[in-house]
Structure 1
Amino acid sequence: MKLTQINKTYGNKHVLKDITLEFPAGQITVLVGPSGSGKSTILRSLNLLVMPESGQYDFNGHQIDFRQPVSNKEKLAIRRETGMVFQNYNLFPHKTVLNNVTEGPTQVLKMGRQHANELAREVLTKVGMADYGEVYPSELSGGQAQRVAIARALAMKPRYVLLDEPTSALDPELELSVLKVLLQLAREKQSMVLVTHNMAFAKQIADKIVFVENGEIIYDGVPEKFFSAENPNERIRNFIASMTMENLK
């Protein structure tokens, strides 16, 4: 998965400036940076929820030139292989947990109902929600709802799971339940791209850290160097200190 010289503007604001990034398969790429830096715009470009004005996107044989119109067929092909998990779950409130998870496989992948139900139970077990198939989203805690959202993404058998600050709306205890699921997926070598403000988790889970600020890539490399006290970039050192409250006096 690769983006090359991606540019995106909103009105007069240049949100992404010639962004070039690779997202290695079987690894966890974590996007960090201050709010409004362009992290989520990068992530949503990978799922074509955001359409840049220029640049190229290469993914599993798909080549998209954003200077040209992108067809619905191309969008669907990308979205079949990139499972998206949002901050606010986006579950269907009128459907049970089981039906939320089977919706994609039956409607998009045209999978038979019995097979989809078996797959749904399998991924719900993976995220610790096996006993909640007949429950409705309104009956779930935030952490439970987010684990169902992850199960829904996994049910599509995506090559990459894309997660946009999946725990930022949760209290610490509920957040931990979701982070444990993501850590297990990382151990299984599920390819993931994750936007987060949780520096402790980023340090633990990331194979690769990308620091974004003002629509530009300031750092793209291994977490050890990013989090090192010897990192020569003072802006990054100050960012980490502020996010971990090391500079609180």
Structure 2
Amino acid sequence: MKLTNINKSFGNKNVLKNTTLEFPAGKTTVMVGPSGSGKSTILRSLNLLVMPESGQYDFDDHHLDFSQKVSNKDKLAIRQETGMVFQDYNLFPNKTVLGNIIEGPTQVLKQTKKEAIANAHNLLAKVGLADYGEAYPNELSGGQAQRVAIARALAMSPKYILLDEPTSALDPELELSVLKVLLQLAEEKQSMVIVTHNMVFAKHVADKIIFVENGEILYDGTPDEFFAPDNPNKRIKNFIASMTMENLK
């Protein structure tokens, strides 16, 4: 998965400026940076929820030129292979947990209902919610709802899972339950791209760190170098210190 020379503006604000990035398969890429830096815009470009004005997107056999109109066929093909998880869950409130998870597989992948339900039960067990299939979203805690959202994304057998600050709305204890699921997926070599403000989690889960600020990539490399005490980039050191409260005093 690769973006090349991506440009995106919202009004007069250039959010992405000739951005070039690769997201390795079988790895977890974590994007960090201050709010409004362009992280979520990059992530949503990978799912085509945001359409850049120019640049190239290569994903397996798919090649898109954003200066040309992207067809609905190409959009559908990309979205079938990239599962998106948002910070506000986006579950269907009128459907049970099982109903939420089987919706995509039965409607898009044309799985039988029996097959989709069996897979959904396996995924609920995987995220620690084996007994919640008949519950409705309003009966779940935030952490439970987010784990259902992850199971729903996995049900589509995506090549990549894209997560946009998946725990930012949760209290620390509920956040931990979600992060443990993501860490397990990373250990299973599920390809993931995660936007997060949690530096401790980023350090544990990332194979690759991308630091974004003002639409520009200030760092693209290993977590060891990013979190190294002798990292020569003062901006990154200050950012990590502020996010971990090292500079509280």
Please list the CA deviations of residues 95-122 of structure 1 after superposition, one character each: whole Å capped at 9, or x if unmatched.
0000000001011111111111111111
Alignment of 1:109-188 (within 5 A): 109-188=109-188
Give the match for residue 70 of structure 2.
70
Alignment of 1:199-214 (within 5 A): 199-214=199-214
**How well do the aligned residues superpose, as a CA RMSD in angstroms?**
0.4
CA distance in structure 1 between the partners assigned to 2:76 and 2:118 by the alignment: 24
Please list the CA deviations of residues 40-91 of structure 1 after superposition, one character each: whole Å capped at 9, or x if unmatched.
0000000000000000000010000000001111000000000000000000
CA distance in structure 2 between the partners assigned to 1:40 and 1:213 by the alignment: 12
CA distance in structure 1 between the partners assigned to 2:229 and 2:95 by the alignment: 49
Give the match for residue 16 of structure 2.
16
- Residue 30, structure 1, aligned to residue 30, structure 2: yes
Shift of 1:14: 0.1
Shift of 1:130: 1.1
SS in 1 for 2:89: coil
CA distance in structure 2 between the partners assigned to 1:180 and 1:56 by the alignment: 34
SS in 2 for 1:130: coil
User: What one-letter code is carried by the residue in structure 2 that aligns with 1:50?
Assistant: V
CA distance in structure 2 between the partners assigned to 1:128 and 1:9 by the alignment: 40
Give the match for residue 223 of structure 2.
223
CA distance in structure 1 between the partners assigned to 2:162 and 2:118 by the alignment: 24
CA distance in structure 1 between the partners assigned to 2:240 and 2:2 by the alignment: 27
User: What one-letter code is carried by the residue in structure 2 that aligns with 1:192?
Assistant: M
Shift of 1:39: 0.2
Q: How many residue pairs are counted as aligned between the two chains?
A: 249
CA distance in structure 1 between the partners assigned to 2:246 and 2:185 by the alignment: 30
Give the match for residue 58 of structure 2.
58
List structure 1 runs of 4+ shifted beyond 6 angstroms: none
- Residue 94, structure 1, aligned to residue 70, structure 2: no
Q: TM-score, normalised by structure 1?
A: 1.00
Give the match for residue 235 of structure 2.
235
CA distance in structure 2 between the partners assigned to 1:83 and 1:123 by the alignment: 14
CA distance in structure 2 between the partners assigned to 1:221 and 1:164 by the alignment: 20
Please list every run of 5 or more consecutive structure 1 residues that lacks an aligned counterpart in the other structure. Answer: none
Please list every run of 5 or more consecutive structure 2 residues that lacks an aligned counterpart in the other structure. Answer: none
CA distance in structure 1 between the partners assigned to 2:122 and 2:21 by the alignment: 33
Shift of 1:229: 1.0
Q: TM-score, normalised by structure 2?
A: 1.00
CA distance in structure 2 between the partners assigned to 1:20 and 1:69 by the alignment: 20
SS in 2 for 1:131: coil
